[in-house]
Each structure stands twice: as C-alpha cells, then as structure tokens.
Amino acid sequence: MDYTKQIQEIATRLFAEDKIDVFVGYRLTGFDDNQVPALIRESKDVPLLVFNQKSVFNLSNYLKNDHTRNKRVGLVVKGCDSRSLNLLLTESQVKREKLYVVGIACEGVVDDAGQKMQNCLECMVPAAVVYDELLGEANMERRFIINADIQDMAAKELVQRREYFEEVFENCIRCNACRHSCPLCYCAKCCIDQETATLYNGANTTSSAFHALMTWSLHLAGRCVDCRNCEKACPSHLPLHLFHKWNERVIYENFQEHLAGVHEGDRGAFYKYSMQDPDDFIM
Amino acid sequence: METVTNQLVSIEKPEIVAPPDWQPVIIGILCNWCSYAGSDLTGTSRLQYPPNIRIIRVPCSSRVDTWFLIKSLQTTADGVLVSGCHPGDCHYISGNYFARRRFLVTKKLLNFVGFHENRIQFSWVSAAEGPKFAKVVSKVTEDIKKLGPLHLYKKENFEK
Ligand code: SF4
Ligand code: SF4
Ligand code: SF4
Ligand code: SF4
C-alpha cells in the first residue's frame, strides 16, 4: 500500500487549480521511517508528502485547529479516518464544500515494531466512506471480529477486572493527550478539565483519572471509530481501546448494530433512540 | 449474534469491613414530573422507606448526564439510583428513551471497570406509584448494604 505518487499528483493538481489553501497529509520525520502529519501550504513542498503502511495518524484531527479552520483543505483519509470525518460533518464541525477528500481503500497500518495494528486486523470499514477521489478498491470486505482483549477481560471476575483497571487509572498522568489527539473531542470547554491537575489542587490522582477517563470514554461511546489516535498519543501506553471497544460492543449488541460514522448523516448512538432498546435492567 | 457484553461475572468480595453503625449513602436522582412526584406521594401516604437516599430533583431523566453518576461514585455515594417516567410517559415525549441508552452503556462500562452492577440502578416510577418508590428504595438500600461501603476511586482517599 504505497500511494505516495498519486497523492503528490493530486496535491500538485489542487494547488495548480487553486482549489485548496492547505493540504493535510503525512511526511517522514526525518530521523527514521516513521511519519508525522504535514500541513502543506505551497506546491513546492508537495514532494514531502508520503503515504504507506506507516501512515498511522488520523488526519481528521487536524481539521479543528487554526491552520485549517475556515480554509479550503485537502485531506487524506483512510477508512477509520473517513468515519470520524463523517461524524464531524454530521455534527457541523466542518463544511463539506471546503474539503477535498482523498479517500484510501486501506490495507492496514503497522506499529513501531512493524506488526499490523490490532484495530487494522479487526477493521470493519477499511475503504473510505467519504471521498472526492478514492485510491484503491472501493468494495473492500467489511468484517466484524469481536475484540479479543475485551473478551478476555469480560471473562474475568469483578475483582480481577477491578484490580486491572485500578492499575490503569493509577498510571494515567492526566496529560489529556488522549483527548487532544481524538478527532471527535473538539469542545472548546471540556468538562474533564474540571479535575485537571494544576500546581495547587493536586488533582493528579487515581480518582481524577477515573473521573476523566470514564467521562471521556462515555462522550466517545457510539462515536468512537477505533482509529486509536488516543492510544498512540498516550505517554503511559494505557490500553484505552478497552473502554472504547467495550462501549462499541455494548452499543452494537443492544442498539440495532449501530456503528459510528459509517452512513452519511448518521449521528452518534446517544443522539437517537428506538422502542426496541433494552429495558430489562430498569426496575 | 454472539454476545460478550451480557456475561459479566459480578461476584463481589466486600472491599473493606463495614463499621457496625455504617449506613450507606445513596444518591437518588429523580425526574421532576414522575419519580419526584411519586416520592412525594410516598411521603404524603406515610409509607416508610429507608432514609439512606439523598434525593436530587432534575427536570427529566435525560438531564442525568453520565457524569453525574461518575461524580457521585467518586465523591460520597455508595450507590446511585436514577429514576424517571415510564417509557411513553415522558413529559418531554422522548427524554427517557435517550436516557435509557446512556444508562445502559454507563452501567455496563462501570461494571466492566470493577463496580458491582447493583451500585448503579435505574427505575421507572410514575407519579401514582408511591408504594413502588418505597419498594425500589428499600431494594436498592438492601443491595448496597450487602455490598458494603464503596472505597474505590474515592476522592478523599487521594487528597491528603
Ligand atoms: S483501522 Fe482500518 S481503515 Fe483504519 S488504518 Fe486500520 S485498516 Fe486502515
Ligand atoms: S477515542 Fe481514540 S480511537 Fe476513538 S475516535 Fe477518538 S482517537 Fe480514535
Ligand atoms: S471529553 Fe467530552 S467534553 Fe471533553 S472534548 Fe471530549 S467530548 Fe468534549
Ligand atoms: S494520554 Fe494517557 S496518560 Fe495522558 S491523560 Fe490520556 S490516558 Fe492519561
């Protein structure tokens, strides 16, 4: 999966036709074969752009900063990224007419060790669902494999799960990188900041991490697209996908197989309801 | 469909031994139109129910942010009860349908990370169901007494 040439051609064309102000893609870090997001503003910088199986980040996260807001943007999206883009469009965070989207039919990306990432092995929607131009085969197979980690965790007893997650919350340093790296966390005032550690309040505790991560993952429930930007950003390497995959599975099983951002105009699971929703847990 | 999320094993060993005079604190979040009126009726009909519940009135069960539940468990509560109008009876037509979805996911997630499922409970109580409200509160109090005090992630454990 190497679309470097095609993406460079598209970007050159868009700049020549004056269709975009900025192109958001990937470039090499300059030290190794890892990649970082690149905001390209002039056609002379276009040769920096690359795309291959090391292009891990979800670029729709870069639609919410000052460099791209209210500008005409060219953007590269893989399958999962296009789902979060779809949600951003539905939630009126970006305007479709200002975007030129290069969709990728994605064959999966790899982590630092060169292994295919877990979310790619379980990828449900590999081909982009929103695009102006698609690179690759549009009719890629969709699958739904239940995440093995949540299955293992669900098979454990309550006390074991509690011990496991206590350690997770303990190791969180409350840096909020997970929130900042998530494309769907765009609130100007975020309610988990209420317990962000400052020099004085000493709020960097297991308790505040519990509060923040639970609130955060519930805000992403029914919206999270499993791009794992959050997990890649976490300096403590916490298994944040456990929360998201669990919520995703609860929602999929109980609310008419809802999957976030797959259909145009489809909102998150908490913004709609059905008469068939389970009621048996309520007295 | 293969389900994984309905098979959580919830056996709890008491976390800490409760002092003999310990009484649980239960935060009860009730909707203004049905459950709060129902609890009023319980009072005016002079029905007895445990005094462990601390009632908070909200306009609608869909006003209950998942955050309220997390905050309650993180601060004083040993358990939370949220109660609203029966499906179809919502004063705002569909509020409780939205709430129902959030409640299920919140309950499952908190159970997943280590809270016993009985610590977060929900009920539908209409304005005419005074006796039901007394029964619900008694049941929740019984459940929580069995589980003992909650000390997981309590704020005061960490802020010294
Ligand atoms: S999750 Fe799917 S779309 Fe996203 S990078 Fe992996 S294979 Fe590609
Ligand atoms: S919560 Fe994480 S995996 Fe989910 S959409 Fe946000 S960054 Fe992606
Ligand atoms: S955690 Fe919630 S409030 Fe904060 S930015 Fe994300 S969605 Fe918004
Ligand atoms: S990125 Fe990791 S360490 Fe930082 S707040 Fe999120 S979970 Fe905690």
- Give, for A152, the enclosing helix (H) or strand (E): helix A148-155
pLDDT interval class at A271 (50, 70, 90): very high
Assigned CATH topology for domain B26-147: Rossmann fold (3.40.50)
Chain B residues in contact with A217 (beta carbon < 8 A): 109
Q: Ligand 3 centre and the CA of B67: distance in Å?
A: 11
Per-residue pLDDT at B160 exceeds 60: no
Got the DSSP string for A69-133? TTS-EEEEE-HHHHHHHHHHHHTTSS-GGGEEEEEEB----B-TTSPBPHHHHT-S--B-SS-SE
* Ligand 4 pocket by Cβ (under 6 Å): A 172-178, 213, 233-236, 238, 240
Alpha-carbon span A42 to A39, nearest angstrom = 10
Average pLDDT of span B19-41: 91
Hey, where are the domains in chain B? 26-147
B41 SS3 class: helix
Per-residue pLDDT at A45 exceeds 80: yes
Per-residue pLDDT at A197 exceeds 70: no
pLDDT of residue A179: 92
ipTM of this complex: 0.91
pLDDT interval class at A203 (50, 70, 90): low
Pairwise CB contact (< 8 Å): B109 & A249: no
CA–CA min distance B159, chain A (Å): 7
Chain A residues in contact with B155 (beta carbon < 8 A): 205, 207-208
- Highest-pLDDT range among A120-129, B12-21, B130-139: B130-139
B77's tokens: 């509560």
Sheet strands (E) in chain B: 26-31, 53-58, 79-84, 120-124
State whether the beta carbon of A190 lies less than 6 angstroms from ligand 3.
yes
Structure-token match 């005079």, residue found: B21
Q: Ligand 2 centre and the CA of A213: distance in Å?
A: 12
- The interface residues of chain B toward chain A in range 72-101, judged by CB-CB distance below 8 A, are 74, 87, 94, 97-98, 100-101
pLDDT tens digit sequence for A221-250: 999 999 999 999 999 999 999 999 999 999
Q: pLDDT averaged over chain A?
A: 89
Average pLDDT of span A181-201: 79
Alpha-carbon span A120 to A187, nearest angstrom = 28
pLDDT of residue B10: 67
Tell me which DSSP letter residue A116 carries. B
Alpha-carbon span A117 to B116, nearest angstrom = 33
pLDDT tens digit sequence for A137-154: 877 777 778 888 998 998
CA–CA min distance A276, chain B (Å): 10
The answer for residues whose C-beta is within 8 angstroms of residue A88's C-beta and 6 or more apart is: A60, A63, A94, A183, A184, A186
A250 SS3 class: helix
Q: Tell me the pTM.
A: 0.92
| A56-65, A188-197, B55-64: least confident range | A188-197
Cβ neighbours, 10 Å, residue A31: 6
For A282, the closest of B7, B11, B122 (CB atoms) is B122
Average pLDDT of span A183-211: 78
Query: What CA–CA distances, in Å, run from A137 to A56, A104, A181, B101?
Result: 19, 9, 29, 36
Per-residue pLDDT at A202 exceeds 60: no
The answer for residues whose C-beta is within 8 angstroms of residue B57's C-beta and 6 or more apart is: B30, B31, B32, B36
Tell me which DSSP letter residue A64 carries. S
| A138-147, A263-272, B22-31, B109-118: least confident range | A138-147
Least Cα distance to B49 among B138, B140, B141 occurs for B138
Question: Best mutation site among A58, A64, A219, A229 for ligand 2, i.e. most ligand atoms within 8 A of its Cβ?
Answer: A229
Pairwise CB contact (< 8 Å): B112 & A253: no
Per-residue pLDDT at A201 exceeds 60: no
Cβ neighbours, 10 Å, residue B20: 5
- The interface residues of chain B toward chain A in range 93-152, judged by CB-CB distance below 8 A, are 94, 97-98, 100-116, 121-124, 136, 139, 152
